[in-house]
Structure formats: C-alpha cells, structure tokens
C-alpha cells in the first residue's frame, strides 16, 4: 500500500490563484546533435519554474519536504549538465550515440525527472491554493525505480569499461568523465532516497 500523507497548510484566502506558465512553443524534431541539449533545456526550464512555484507556497512542514525534493531534482539536473559537456569531446562522442546504452539511460532519466517535476508542481499548486493534499508516494514504486536505475547503471559501467581507452592521452579525460558519471548515479540515488523519506524524517 502507498504511504499517504495529508497536508493542510494555512493560507490567506485573499491570495490570488496561481497562474500556470504559457504553453511552450512547439520544437521541431531533434536530431542527434541537439537531442541531449533539448532535453537539458527542457529540464532547466522545469527546475526554474518549480522554484518559482515553490516560492509562492506558505511556510509549513509540507513546504520543507517539497523544497528538499526540489533541491534533489536541481542536483540531478546539474549532474546531467556536467556529464553532457563530454559530448563535445570527440573522444566521447560515440558514447552519446542515440542507439547506445548511455543515451537510453539518460533518456529514461529525463523522462523520470519530467514525471517528478510534474508531481512536485501539482503539490505546490495545491498547497498554494490551500487545498487539501493527499500526497501519495508508493514506497514500492520508488524502490522499484531505484532498483531499475541501479541495474541500468551497473550495466552501463560495464559498457563504459569496454569503451575505455588506456593510452596516456586519454587517461585524464576518462578520469573526469568517470567523476561526472558517478556524480550522475549518486544524484539519481539521492533523488530516490529523498522521495522515500517520510515527512518529518
């Protein structure tokens, strides 16, 4: 059974209703060279918009929880940005091929971030409007997602190890790539751990 928490913040009835952002323009289909850049840009907008929405929410225990989730999402966004900078390096360009395992991992991660940001915004809007919020986060679902990303990450490590170059010229570049890749995996884990925390924990 999912863990359910009802939040009931005190908000002045005089506060105006929250207005959603205007619909974004339709972007033409992505090609390989801008596929990841488009995904990162979309997430950047989502993270910035979520921060603005949260600023309009009155102080409460629910707000503290929401801020923690938003911060974890922001750190995951930053980790994605760090890793994607390596796409500009010819030595790593092949790793970002759209049919490759790294692209599959990143694409799935972006899809999950989109889902989470949407859930967080919906919570923030209800808190802003002083509406009762039934925040349901299934621990089974979070744990399953965590296990899936752990499995994908382990397989991806094997794939990267097979592509690794051992010549002295490449060692330093790979060390930086490895650091950024591990940062991304940790940020993914931290996002899951944040979701699994019970309110007030």
pLDDT in tens, 57-94: 888 878 888 999 999 999 999 999 999 999 999 889 88
Q: What is the end-to-end Cα distance of the chain in Å, rounded?
A: 20
Contact 192, 146 (CB under 8 A): yes
Question: Looking at the chain, how many residues does it have?
Answer: 201
Question: Mean pLDDT, to the nearest integer, of 150-178?
Answer: 87
Contact 140, 195 (CB under 8 A): no
Report the predicted TM-score, pTM, of the whole model to 2 decimal places. Answer: 0.80
Question: What confidence category does residue 32 fall into, taking pLDDT thresholds of 50, 70 and 90?
Answer: low
pLDDT at residue 51 greater than cutoff 80: yes
What are the chain's domains? 33-196 (1.20.1410)
CB count in 10 Å sphere of residue 82? 17
Question: Mean pLDDT, to the nearest integer, of 124-143?
Answer: 79
Residue 7: which H helix or E strand, with range? Answer: strand 3-7
Q: How many whole angstroms separate alpha carbon 89 and alpha carbon 125?
A: 41
pLDDT, greater one: 158 or 180: 180
Count of H helices and E strands in the chain?
A: 5, 2
């Amino acid at each position: 059974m999912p863990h359910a928490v009802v939040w009931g913040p005190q908000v002045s009835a005089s506060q105006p209703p929250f207005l959603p952002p205007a619909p974004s323009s339709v972007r033409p289909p992505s090609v390989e060279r801008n596929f990841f850049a488009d995904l990162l840009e979309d997430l950047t907008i989502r993270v910035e918009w979520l921060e603005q929405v949260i600023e309009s929410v009155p102080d409460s225990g629910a707000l503290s929880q929401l801020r923690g989730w938003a911060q974890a999402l922001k750190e995951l966004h930053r980790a994605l940005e760090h890793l994607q900078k390596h796409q500009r390096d010819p030595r790593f360009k092949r790793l970002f091929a759209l049919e490759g395992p790294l692209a599959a991992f990143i694409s799935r991660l972006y899809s999950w971030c989109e889902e989470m940001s949407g859930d967080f915004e919906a919570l923030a809007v209800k808190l802003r409007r002083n509406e009762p919020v039934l925040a349901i986060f299934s621990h089974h679902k979070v744990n399953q997602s965590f296990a899936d990303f752990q499995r994908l990450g382990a397989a991806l490590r094997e794939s990267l190890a097979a592509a690794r170059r051992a010549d002295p010229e490449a060692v330093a570049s790979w060390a930086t790539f490895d650091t950024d890749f591990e940062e991304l995996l940790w940020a993914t884990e931290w996002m899951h751990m944040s979701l699994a925390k019970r309110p007030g924990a």
